[in-house]
Structure 1
Amino acid sequence: MTGTSLLRVTDLTIGVRRSKTDALILVDKANFEIAPGERFGIVGESGSGKSMTLRAIAGLLPKGVSVLSGTVEYNGRDLLAMPATQRRALMGPQIAMIFQEPMTALNPTMRVGEQIAEGARRRQHLTKTQAHQLAVTMMRRTGIPDAERRARAWPHELSGGLRQRVMIAMALADSPKVLLCDEPTTALDVTVQHQILKLLEQLCEQTGTALVFVTHDLAVVNQTCQRLAVMYAGKLVEQGPVSEVFTLPRHPYTKGLLGSAPDFDQPDRVLIPIPGFPPNLAARPAGCPFQPRCAFATEHCATVEPELEAVAPGRLVACFESARLEKEVA
């Protein structure tokens, strides 16, 4: 994908500094690229570093958390090296974000139409009437019925599904090239979740917007994304096309995630949970971070940490026993 990537993350390391020479590492040397119009998923257990990676791209890391090293390039420009004013100018027109819980992301003291129009009016230099018309148009585009009336509604007057559509309308109002989604369907019921995912897919296909979708739900990634990265304990352990990774996982952690997730096509399949617990990031084990929970681990895994390497065209894996796992799965 080199040369055609819209967004490129290189050796991104995020952490909390405990002293000048010591830091608690939350994301460790993350690397991935996303092409224009591509839908890319990042999956993993809670605490694996998915949302931190997304927030670093958007420049929205929590207080006390910072990027320690690495680059985040958009169209060849390093976002991390930009002055704050230049980076803020890109947020909205070029890069937009949909948050996990719209009720906390939306301003309860503003009508939803005003919130959609606010950013677009400032950045596109629209009149108040033009901005309102844009808000109503975006609400219709995201499938909100009776958009003219609902534009005057307060956030608490809308259902969860409609609030999430408002968030999508707000994010797409400036026609961004990259859309960052931080588990935007987690709080929705299955039917509404399906509608929102189909809507995002259709909008990306229509506009050519690239989608970065963070979730712990493998079914969501399977429905929405074309490629995915699997994160564990702050590290990317596998990357590849969704269909290939789901059919033939090359990392034991990916295999464990798939084996513990329900499959409605195989309702009688026995679910196999991953044993143990994720490691304490303040006291990382030596070697591969997954080895204490891994059935394929060897003595070598307990002392040396594997690097993310190509094992097939488009497939990257950080595992010394990937070939042995492939034989067993196949």
Structure 2
Amino acid sequence: MTYWRAIPSLDPARPTGARSLAGGWAWFDRVERLRRGEPSAIVPLEEVPDDVLDAMTAPRAPLAGLSLDEPRLMGILNTTPDSFSDGGQHAGQAEAVARALEMMAEGADLIDIGGESTRPGAAYVAPEEEISRTAPVIEALDSAGILVSLDTRKASVARAGLDAGASILNDVSGLRFDPELADVAAERHAPLILMHSLSTPETMQAEAAGAYRDVVLDVYDALQDAIAQARAAGVARDRIVVDPGIGFGKTQAQNLALIQRLSLFHSLGCAVLLGVSRKGFIGAIGDEPQADRRGPGSAGIGLWALGQGVQLLRVHDIQMHKQAIALWRASHGAS
């Protein structure tokens, strides 16, 4: 199988014949051709099959009414006692709602609510408990007119969240844990974020080292299969977002390999989300053991991702990312 990765640029000197990446701010006029067991090759656009070039270039549809023609920030809100960075800080409804309103005031475009920690080693949470943690907060935020995404891998929790007012479903298992979640998304016409991960949070990091032949291509194949599964259930492609799942069953080297070639995932024909905020590899590389002090490193990776055409960043530190993006946009001449 051949894989095609657009090589993006933001340079103001855009050559004649260059194409826009996913209808967005980056352009490309060359592609990296990847095949298993072979060296990669840089090739002109003329060598790319028409259907692949269409997938690379087509503008992405709005996400629950949110246009993707500029970078978007998804604020992280964990209503859990044990999430790796902010566990317990927003476990109560009042604290969670207050934090969501604060993030929106800082410039978040939507809020992603999770009631089950998916940090490495985290234990399973029963659906009833997960619903009790998330549904009241979703109802309050929906009443305030805030766009809400529900971070869950369970169909029953997804139904309850949509009933409470969530608009988007974010499945960190990429439909491996509960395939019926795709049916819920299809029935309710809800956008569906499909993230790549291994196994379960309890065991994923222990399995990472020997899990891949080529992590970039293996993750691409897994996301392609997840998209096919969602589409078979009735979810339209323009309602699907993909996420390579940085830190979910990957070593530091594997995380970096995915980050370096993020633009490959545009060839799936879906919007791309990246979630790296405050993760362990940022602490390791940036020499910061304290998770809540990893905002600058998170923003640094975020700007690289935007340069790769990624449309959505899932982050904790909204204000920091908002400022960084404003300067990034000004630097390459974006309006």
- Structure 1 length-normalised TM: 0.35
Between Structure 1 and Structure 2, which shows a larger proportion of strand residues?
1
Between Structure 1 and Structure 2, which shows a larger proportion of helix residues?
2
- Structure 2 length-normalised TM: 0.34
